[in-house]
Chain A
Amino acid sequence: MQQIINFIIRYKNLLLYILLMIISLAFTIQSHSYHQSRFFNSSSWVAGNIYGFSHSFNTYFDLDDENERLLKENERLRNKLFNTTTSPSVEVDSSVRYTVISGQVIKNSYADPRNYITINRGENDSVSQDMGVITDLGILGIVENTSNKFATVQSILNTKSNINAKIKNTNHFGSLIWDTKTYNTVQLIDIPRLVPLNIGDTIVTGAMSSIFPENIPIGTIKKFDLDISKSFYRIDVNLFNDMTNIKNVYIIKNLDRKEILDLEEATSNE
């Protein structure tokens, strides 16, 4: 007994170091396998308010650019609205499938292998886990953690990200992943070899996802190669979004999501 106590006293620093190292490794590995750690994320009250505070200063510096961008988007949407052939009164029906919540980015990162974006909307604004986040140009990511006033978004620039995507105007779909190399390119895999591809083709979100609506733009094909199995393509996609410069975002809530998930679960249990 005496010897054990002596041993502990003698090596207390080493033991402390090993203990702390195990704690940090546990946190890291646990969040490698599944969602981001529930405790260490910037949607928490303290972190959210620190970023919110600095955001309220920074936001003044690019008001002009942002206004310009919003004006452009309004212009595009109005063009679409005035040129729709069906009159709005015919369309009034009960098939509202998505609601959109607007928000602003208060923290963005794109240099790590696993990037997260923090936005200033949370549970109070009915934002919850697994909602899609887009900008006026294209998709951005999926909500991962929420607090009352803030939420963290798993960016598409994240090795854990895996989003259903397809080639525009076809039904060939694959998965969108990121190889961590550059922040303006993501990879689309699992597109079969027989699909005719051209450089410059547009990639949009697919219909398989219960998170994003179909046909939200992602990017254009930069280059494509066959993968090791020689039967699927591995496509480099140039993102429409400039991931380094994001301010206003839209959070999409799929009202049918619960029903879809319940149904899928019931089917797989049989």
Chain B
Amino acid sequence: MNRGIFINIIRFILLVLVQVLVFNRLNFFGFINPMVYIMFLYWYPIKENRAVFIGLSFLLGLSVDFLSDTMAIHAAATTTIAYLRPAIMRFVFGINYEFQSFKLSNTTKAQQFTFLALLILVHHSVYFSMEIFSIANLLLIVKKVLSNGLASLILCLLFSTLFSVKKE
């Protein structure tokens, strides 16, 4: 239990630092900055208290905002996916995920992929709608969501393979 909290704190700090010091500076093609800190929400234990999880996600988003001068847009997007995560998980893993023995590492690759992709899609939609903040630029929002989403997805998949929890 204590070990879990410790790992999550380290993960929180490292993801924020990696995000603002490395990935926010990527500017691939001039505007693509993958957001890898979403991995925190992907890895976070399922059985924990939901209120704490939402609060932590808000803090995570806020820390990224704080370091990248984006007001509170990251915070809003991250809180949204934290709130919607159980719904997304139920959609992806079916009724299975409510069992005690459920583990992310026991699911199929396709399920993990869909889960991650949905998280990123929702996050980026909220993020870019708030950043651009006008319906008139809907096309621009869609373009940004898709291009950034693809980049985030590729990097998050790499991250999840690189730091995957060993199967017991």
Contact partner of B76 (CB less than 8 A), chosen from A28, A46, A110, A244, is: A28
Total number of A residues with any Cβ neighbor in B under 8 Å: 38
Tell me the complex Cα distance, A118–B20, Å: 13
Tell me the complex Cα distance, A36–B70, Å: 9
A42 touches B132 (CB 8 A): no
A-B pairs under 8 A by CB, number? 96
B79 touches A20 (CB 8 A): yes
Answer whether residue B50 sits at the interface, using C-beta atoms and an 8 A cutoff: yes
| Residue of chain A at shortest CB distance from B24 | A109
Contact partner of A28 (CB less than 8 A), chosen from B67, B80, B130, is: B130
B72 touches A27 (CB 8 A): yes
Total number of B residues with any Cβ neighbor in A under 8 Å: 35
Provide 14 A-B residue pairs closer than 8 Å at the C-beta atoms, listed in order of the A residue.
A13-B54, A14-B83, A16-B54, A16-B55, A17-B83, A23-B72, A24-B62, A24-B73, A25-B72, A32-B71, A40-B69, A42-B67, A112-B70, A118-B69
B51 touches A113 (CB 8 A): no
Answer whether residue B115 sits at the interface, using C-beta atoms and an 8 A cutoff: no
Apart from A20-B54, A25-B72, A37-B71: 20 A-B pairs, beta carbons within 8 A? A12-B51, A13-B51, A17-B83, A21-B80, A24-B58, A24-B61, A27-B71, A31-B71, A32-B71, A37-B72, A40-B62, A40-B65, A40-B66, A40-B70, A40-B72, A42-B68, A47-B67, A109-B24, A109-B68, A111-B33
The interface residues of chain A lying within 8 Å CB-to-CB of B65 are 40
A206 → chain B closest CB, angstroms: 27
The interface residues of chain A lying within 8 Å CB-to-CB of B66 are 40-42, 44, 46-47
Tell me the complex Cα distance, A41–B72, Å: 10
| Residue of chain B at shortest CB distance from A54 | B21
Given A50-B17, A50-B67, A110-B27: A17 touches B54 (CB 8 Å cut-off): yes
B20 → chain A closest CB, angstroms: 8
Main secondary structure of the interface of B (DSSP, over half): helix
* Chain A residues in the interface with B (C-beta under 8 A): 12-14, 16-17, 20-21, 23-25, 27-28, 31-32, 36-37, 40-42, 44, 46-47, 50-51, 54, 109-116, 118, 152, 182-183, 244
Contact partner of B50 (CB less than 8 A), chosen from A13, A41, A46, is: A13
| Residue of chain B at shortest CB distance from A23 | B72
B54 touches A24 (CB 8 A): no
Closest 9 CB pairs of A and B: A24-B72, A27-B72, A24-B76, A116-B69, A17-B83, A28-B71, A24-B75, A111-B31, A20-B58
The interface residues of chain A lying within 8 Å CB-to-CB of B133 are 32
Answer whether residue B30 sits at the interface, using C-beta atoms and an 8 A cutoff: yes
The interface residues of chain A lying within 8 Å CB-to-CB of B130 are 25, 28
A183 → chain B closest CB, angstroms: 6
Tell me the complex Cα distance, A115–B31, Å: 12
Given A27-B72, A109-B69: A17 touches B79 (CB 8 Å cut-off): yes
Answer whether residue B98 sits at the interface, using C-beta atoms and an 8 A cutoff: no
Contact partner of B69 (CB less than 8 A), chosen from A17, A20, A27, A41, is: A41
